[in-house]
């Protein structure tokens, strides 16, 4: 089930960042599919783990680019990244503790909202600065 639809609205103009953002959409939709279709717990756990690693690599890349360009809002952007890291870890822990009562809808709503708000506001602010 697609919960986050990629469109050109999410393109920042930075090719590598755009590819990584597209990858985030793909991974989140893959996780949504697995959760909604009742995939095995091990499959969901491995998908969550892969998403966490992918996000870490993307954030490192994005922050390095911001450092290289002297982006003045780098620290607040880093804080937004760390907030996502913490919230996803909370969801991951909740799933591991009790997969049968896990709030799938809350996770998907959070991830979808975060993608839209973060990319369309914070990442676009950086894209405008970078250009």
**Whole-angstrom distance, CA of residue 52 vs CA of residue 10:** 21
Write down the pTM of the prediction: 0.88
Give me the mean pLDDT over the 35-55 stretch.
90
Helix (H), strand (E) at residue 117: helix 104-117
pLDDT value at 79 more than 80: yes
pLDDT grade for 5, boundaries at 50, 70 and 90? confident
pLDDT value at 39 more than 70: yes
């Amino acid at each position: 089930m697609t919960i986050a639809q990629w469109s050109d609205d999410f393109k920042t103009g930075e090719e590598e960042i755009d590819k990584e953002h597209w990858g985030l959409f793909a991974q989140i939709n893959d996780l949504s599919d697995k959760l909604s279709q009742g995939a095995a717990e091990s499959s969901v756990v491995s998908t969550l783990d892969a998403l966490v690693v992918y996000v870490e690599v993307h954030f490192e890349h994005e922050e390095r680019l911001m450092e290289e360009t002297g982006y003045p809002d780098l620290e607040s952007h880093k804080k937004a990244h760390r907030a996502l890291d913490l919230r996803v870890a909370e969801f991951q822990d909740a799933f591991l503790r009790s997969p049968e009562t896990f709030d799938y809808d809350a996770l998907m709503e959070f991830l979808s909202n975060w993608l839209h708000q973060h990319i369309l506001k914070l990442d676009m602010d950086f894209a405008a600065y970078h250009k």
